[in-house]
Amino acid sequence: MDLKKLAAALIPDTGLLPPEEYEKIYPERDRAPKAEVTRLAPSPTGFIHLGNLYSALADERSAHTTGGIFYLRIEDTDEKRRVDGAVESVIRSLNYFGINFDEGAELNSPLNKYGPYYQRRRAEIYRSFVKRLLEQGLAYPCFCTEDELNAVRENQTAEKKTTGYYGEYAKCRNLSEEQIYENLRAGKPFVIRLKSQGSIENKMTFRDAIKGDITVTENDQDVVILKSDGIPTYHFAHAIDDHFMRTTLVIRGEEWLSSLPVHIELHKVLGFKPPRYAHTCSLMKMDGGTKRKLSKRKDPELSLDFYRKAGYYPVAVVKYLMTILNSDFEEWSLKNPDADYRDFKFRIEKMSRSGALFDLDKLNDISKNEISRLSAKQCFDFLKGWAEEFGTDKDKAHFADEEYIIKVLELVMGVGGKKRRKDIERAEQGVRLIDYFFDDAFAPEYNYRFDKATVNTVLEEFAKTYDPADDNSVWFNKVKAIAPKVGFASEMSEYKANPEAYKGNVSDIAEILRIAVTGMPNSPDLCTIMRILGKGRAVARLKKGMI
Ligand code: GLU
């Protein structure tokens, strides 16, 4: 058979560069021997989930702890799944979690020398290689229809045979030259298949960067490499792309492990040295006593939007994922509480070989801890960011006054002091916590424990004498001074010695004031709260609190 003529008939494109040219266009990268080149290669479906972030973090850490490159490639071979704006959304989502690409799609980077980074824009490269494989007799056209393929599959299933297009089932493998040209003349659509050289009798050892040595059976399937629309399959495109983008380490989900034999063979027939592969375990969760994969349908926590909307501190999510990625991260983090997680020596080889268990409680703990370590300004930026995206109009307006909120946060979160608040897991809780510092969000519940006359006297008396210039001790003396007017003990010792003699004590007076000013029986230091509110608002609240 004249293979050159056949290749030209099947891939008639003129002006295709010969495969060798691409070696020159995309030369080996100038990198240190251990520097890893990794990539995130999502389909532009618009849904970016925790698994992508987990994988992206492993890619990003592998590249950046070795002085390498992390790039973004868009695997858009399936046009039906493409969603507008999806690529920007991937970049934005990952940026939010502090993960940045060095190179790739939609990045205006001087490093962008290995593009285009969209597979659909790389059609010529793929076609040049398909043409070469056809010329070498390592690929062939297949005219089987969907119905024919289904019938074969049904037969194979009924006979308990391995399904697929291989050996005796690979009907078009043996088409004569005449039959092929006849089909072409008849305008029959065709795909191009690999003419597999492998046999399932042959086993080989493959070293996965995570799973270690695994035994792999050679591929014997004549997989499709070019679809009838002229666009390659994932198998073929990724082999070409990872070679010419000079990827050194492919980190991908273990669902790809079953196609590894195909990928090994493709690299071989294309004459490429395969990159290292690392197959990561799926994220699992406990559900009613059994472990199962996180599912898009059942688990809202799979979506990254969940974490943004809920207002988790982004670094906390990343640190949490680091604990899953490398089991010694947690210990390191405890020993180095102030260190940036990027200082940890991440290694792909340390990743778990079995299912990674997702645990929201643990994330909550890490988030609490991270939030409790923020400076007032960091806390302000974090809460404001959340309020701007997910808060109400009132929330947004509140964050306009940075100076005021910083004062509030210093008090409420205990920033810089000993009484650091450690129970805030999410931005929304933080934003709600400061609501009472704004009149338009102040929704008090006046649950006083004393009668009307007592409450009103306390509030009225205090309003008369309140001066924001008072320091804590003057302020407290004024609180004490009210006690005899309502039959309360002004000293705790007096009260404890003879509780029956009093209706209450000085701390009950403070509680009445606190309920009037904050709407709650417990709050941070009331004297400071009133000072932050200022005289006008503090006194207005004392008056409003009368019953
Ligand atoms: N486009 C593939 C996916 O989204 C990428 C797999 C890989 O990283 O090679 O699953």
* SS3 of 303-332: EHHHHHHHCECHHHHHHHHHHHHCCCHHHH
Spans in the chain with pLDDT lower than 50: none
The best mutation among 234, 248, 250 to test binding of ligand 1, ranked by most ligand atoms within 8 Å of the C-beta, falls on 234
Q: For residue 52, how far is its CA from the centre of ligand 1 (angstroms)?
A: 10
Which residues does 224 contact at the CB level (< 8 Å), separation at least 6? 142, 191, 192, 193, 233
pLDDT at 420: 87
Residue nearest to atom 10 of ligand 1 (CA): 42
- What angle is formed at CA 21 by the lines to CA 15 and CA 22, rounded to 5 degrees? 105
What pLDDT shows up at residue 253? Answer: 92
Q: Which residues contact 276 (CB under 8 A, 6 or more apart)?
A: 207, 209, 248, 249, 250
Ligand 1 proximal residues by C-beta, below 6 Å? 41-43, 75, 238, 250, 252
What token pair was written down for 333? 């983090």
Atom of ligand 1 nearest to the CA of 251: 8
Cis check: omega of the bond before 275, within 30 degrees of 0: no
Please list the helix, strand and coil fractions of the chain in percent, rounded to the nearest 5, in that order. 50, 10, 35
Sorted by where each begins, the domain ranges of the chain are: 3-15+123-279, 374-437, 452-544
d(CA 311, CA 387): 9
Regarding the domain delimited by 452-544, which CATH topology (the fold level of the hierarchy) does it fall under? Arc Repressor Mutant, subunit A (1.10.10)
Q: How far is the CA of 236 from the centre of ligand 1 (A)?
A: 12
Distance 250 CA to ligand 1 centre (A): 10
Per CATH, is 3-15+123-279 categorized as 3.40.50.620? yes
3-15+123-279 and 452-544 share one fold: no
Which protein residue has the closest C-alpha to ligand 1 atom 5? 41
Please say whether the beta carbons of 460 and 482 come within 8 A.
no
Instruction: Measure 318 CA to ligand 1 centroid, in angstroms.
Output: 21
Q: Which atom of ligand 1 has the smallest separation from the CA of 238?
A: 9
For position 46, what pLDDT does the model report? Answer: 78
- Find how far residue 339's CA is from the centre of its chain: 21
Tokens of 64: 């950046």
**Atom of ligand 1 at shortest range from CA of 252:** 8
Closest ligand 1 atom, CA of 255?
A: 10
How much distance in Å is there from the Cα of 7 to the middle of ligand 1?
A: 29
Closest Cα to atom 1, ligand 1: which residue?
A: 42
The residue contributing the CA closest to ligand 1 atom 8 is 252
Contact 433, 424 (CB under 8 A): yes
Candidate of 119, 208, 252 to mutate for ligand 1, largest count of ligand atoms within 8 Å of Cβ? 252
